[in-house]
Structure 1
């Protein structure tokens, strides 16, 4: 493993830790309610459990994805996480354009930073060579 690949795996692991810390409170209805209250976002919608369900589903998936990147970082995980961050950035920008709280800008900046850092190495012409699991095997 080269120094470049070791530093890339450290980046993948670091982005996993960031996501784990930021998202852990979304995993259960109770922790999500505490987070919602702590951020002074107002009360959770009464009588409509769907927004909480979506927050819990998102939190659960991101926590599991984060743990994978923390415990077993691979270059492929960095590539896929970079793609996911492009999607997250898109939806955060959409939310901001439609009146989301200004705090979303902070998360958008982090998403862009990790996304660019994880995708940039894949833009090199030789990035796809000799990467097991990234190219179809030839018989």
Structure 2
């Protein structure tokens, strides 16, 4: 069981990880550079699977993903609440599911590394936190329901 302050550090660190890993997805120019790098890396390592060229709609989806994940990451960096960590863990499990699906359908095996990291962050953010009971946000959520502002 973790102490609340340790858990807040985990939530903040996961936000930094997301910001660093996802920032290149936020603009078409940075994503094109990242896509080129990943394609070259995949070929150099002779990995199975492919990283297909991106059309305008694919680019839009990548940029939307990058933009919203960066905003979500900054929120967790600035205010690493227990409830944000729990919601982030659920999002990571969803991301891991879709990465697994992509791998089963021929995506580059470069995704395996990202899949493992997603699952690791999910486990850490789902870990029990001392003093918070089984409720999602612990005392903060209970106080908010009673109208108490801390």
Within a 5 Å distance, the mapping from 1:37-48 to structure 2 comes to: 37-40=36-39, 44-45=53-54, 48=55
Q: Name 1:131's counterpart in structure 2.
A: 139
Map of 1:77 onto structure 2? 84
Query: What is the CA–CA distance in structure 2 between the aligned matches of 1:54 and 1:63, rounded to whole Å?
Result: 14
Q: Which structure's relative contact order is higher, taking Cα pairs within 8 Å and 6+ residues apart? A: 2
1:68 aligns with 2:68: no
- Counterpart-to-counterpart distance in 2, 1:37 and 1:112: 26
- 1:136 is displaced (CA, Å) by 7.9
Q: How many correspondences in the alignment?
A: 134
Q: Distance in 2 between matches of 1:13 and 1:26?
A: 20
Structure 1: tracts of 5 or more residues without a match: none
Displacement of 1:7 in angstroms is: 0.3
Once the two structures are superposed, the pairs formed by residues 48-67 of structure 1 within 5 Å of their partners are: 48-67=55-74
Aligned pairs for 1:1-139 (under 5 A) are: 4-40=3-39, 44-45=53-54, 48-121=55-128, 126-128=133-135, 130-133=138-141, 137=145
- How many angstroms apart in 1 are the aligned matches of 2:34 and 2:5? 35
Report the TM-score when normalising by structure 2: 0.80
Q: Residues 135, 97 of structure 1: CA spacing in aligned structure 2 closer, same or farther, 3 A cutoff?
A: farther
Change (3 A) 1:86 1:134: farther
CA distance in structure 1 between the aligned counterparts of 2:60 and 2:19, rounded to whole angstroms: 19
TM-score when normalising by structure 1? 0.86
Task: Quote how far apart the aligned CAs of 1:137 are.
Answer: 2.9
Gaps of 5+ in 2: 41-50
Residues 119 and 134 (structure 1), Cα distance of their counterparts in 2 relative to 1, 3 Å cut: farther
Confirm or deny: 8 A CA contact 2:18 2:69 kept in the other structure: yes
State the 4+ residue runs in structure 1 displaced beyond 6 angstroms: none
